[in-house]
């Protein structure tokens, strides 16, 4: 369900109590969620290059004099 996020933890000797350390980590998590970029909406329709290739292949005039065996039998 998305990319793995790094786990935050308070390291080192600190004068903070375990509750204060947990509050600091919680505040950092809240900040990270609040400033994360919004998820992008899925693109509507095919890629423009893919669409152009499909249209070119479908709309192209056949070469004169070339027989297609499965059609011209």
User: What gap in Å lies between CA 51 and CA 48, rounded to an integer?
Assistant: 5
Q: What is the pLDDT of residues 18-67, one digit of tens each?
A: 888 889 889 999 999 899 888 887 777 778 888 887 777 764 556 666 66
Domain ranges of the chain: 12-38
Reported as type and span, the H/E element at residue 18 is: helix 18-35
The answer to pTM > 0.75 is: no
């Amino acid at each position: 369900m998305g990319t793995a996020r790094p786990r935050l933890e308070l390291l080192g000797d600190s004068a903070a109590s375990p509750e204060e350390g947990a509050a600091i980590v919680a505040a950092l998590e809240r900040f990270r969620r609040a400033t994360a970029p919004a998820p992008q909406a899925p693109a509507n329709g095919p890629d423009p290059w893919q669409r152009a290739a499909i249209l070119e292949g479908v709309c192209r005039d056949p070469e004169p004099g070339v027989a297609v065996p499965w059609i011209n039998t």
